[in-house]
Amino acid sequence: MKAAVMRANNAPLEIEDVGIDDPGPGEVLLKTAASGICHSDLHVIEGSLPVPPPCILGHESAGIVEAVGEGVTDFAPGDHVIGCLTSWCGVCKFCTGGRPYLCLTQFSVRPEGSKSRLSSSNGDPIAQFANLSSFAERMLCPERSLVKIRDDIPLDRASLIGCGVTTGLGAALNTVDIPAGASVVIIGCGGVGLAALQGARIVGAGKIIAIDAHPWKFDLAQKLGATDCINATDGDPVAAVHALTGGGADFVFECIGLVTTVQQAIAMTGRGGTTVLVGVVPLTQLVPISAADLTLQEKKITGSYMGSNRFRFDMPKYIDFYLDGRLHLDEMISSRIDLAEVNEAFDRMRKGEAARQVIVFD
Ligand X SMILES: NC(=O)c1ccc[n+]([C@@H]2O[C@H](COP(=O)([O-])OP(=O)(O)OC[C@H]3O[C@@H](n4cnc5c(N)ncnc54)[C@H](O)[C@@H]3O)[C@@H](O)[C@H]2O)c1
Active site residue ranges:
38, 40, 43, 59, 163
Q: How is residue 111 annotated by DSSP?
A: P
Q: Which does 79 bind (CB under 5 to 8 A by kind): ligand X, Zn ion, none?
A: none
Closest CA to 190 of 334, 4, 34: 334
Residue 58 or 270: which CB sits closer to Zn ion? 58
- Contact by Cβ (8 Å): 300, 174: no
- Binding residue for ligand X, selected from 261, 274, 275, 308, defined by CB under 6 A: 261
Residue 103 or 256: which CB sits closer to ligand X? 256
- Determine the Cα–Cα distance for residues 217 and 277; give it in Å rounded to an integer: 21
Stretch that binds ligand X, among 103-111, 146-154, 183-191, 240-248 (CB under 6 A): 183-191
- Contact by Cβ (8 Å): 328, 223: yes
163 binds Zn ion (CB under 5 A): yes
100 binds ligand X (CB under 6 A): no
Min. distance of Cβ 121 from ligand X in angstroms?
31
51 binds ligand X (CB under 6 A): no
User: For ligand X, how many residues bind (rule: CB under 6 A)?
Assistant: 32
- Determine the Cα–Cα distance for residues 58 and 51; give it in Å rounded to an integer: 13
- Residue 21 three-state SS: coil
Min. distance of Cβ 190 from Zn ion in angstroms?
10
- Determine the Cα–Cα distance for residues 330 and 316; give it in Å rounded to an integer: 17
Residue 159 or 183: which CB sits closer to Zn ion? 159
- Contact by Cβ (8 Å): 269, 275: yes
Residue 37 or 178: which CB sits closer to ligand X? 37
The terminus-to-terminus CA distance of the chain in angstroms comes to 12
Q: Helix count (H) and strand count (E) of the chain?
A: 11, 19
- Residue 136 three-state SS: strand
- Amino acid at the residue 55: C
Site string for Zn ion, 91-130 (x = CB under 5 A): -x--x-------x---------------------------
* Binders in 263-282 for ligand X, by CB under 6 A: 278-280
Q: Which does 110 bind (CB under 5 to 8 A by kind): ligand X, Zn ion, none?
A: none
289 binds Zn ion (CB under 5 A): no
CB neighbour list of residue 182: distance below 8 Å, 6 or more residues apart: 205, 206, 250, 251
**Which residues sit at the interface with ligand X, rule CB under 6 A?**
38-40, 43, 163-164, 167, 188-193, 211-214, 217, 232, 255-258, 261, 278-280, 304-306, 349, 352
Q: Which residues form the interface with Zn ion (CB under 5 A)?
A: 38, 40, 89, 92, 95, 103, 163
